[in-house]
Amino acid sequence: MRNKVKEVMARVFGITVAEISDEASAEKIEQWDSINHLILVMTLEEEFGIQFDEHQIGEIINLELIIKALQSRTSQK
């Protein structure tokens, strides 16, 4: 899952997967602005066949939190 999330992030932010560390966050990736955050959310929802709730959308601001939210959502399917 981690690698797939990194691939999605790389596509959305227009950077390479190698540029996305395990500590990747909105603070560390310059391209991670509010618009790209929404694009990231929509792309993750499409890729993983899930839908984040409003609460999660505002909280997934780093790689670890994205993975936790995805694990939570995919286990509910």
Does 5 score more than 80 pLDDT?
Answer: yes
Question: What values do phi and psi take at 23, rounded to 5?
Answer: -100, 15
CB 30 within 8 A of CB 38: no
Catalogue all structural domains in the chain, each as residue range(s) with its CATH number.
2-75 (1.10.1200.10)
In this prediction, residues 1-17 reach a mean pLDDT of 98
pLDDT tens digits along 34-74: 999 999 999 999 999 999 999 999 999 999 999 999 999 88
Q: Is 59 exposed, middle or buried (0-12, 13-18, 19+ CB in 10 A)?
A: middle
Q: Is the pTM of this model over 0.85?
A: yes
Average pLDDT, the chain: 96
Does 76 score more than 80 pLDDT?
Answer: no
Question: Where residue 77 falls among pLDDT bands split at 50, 70, 90?
Answer: low
> Which 8-state DSSP code applies to residue 32?
-
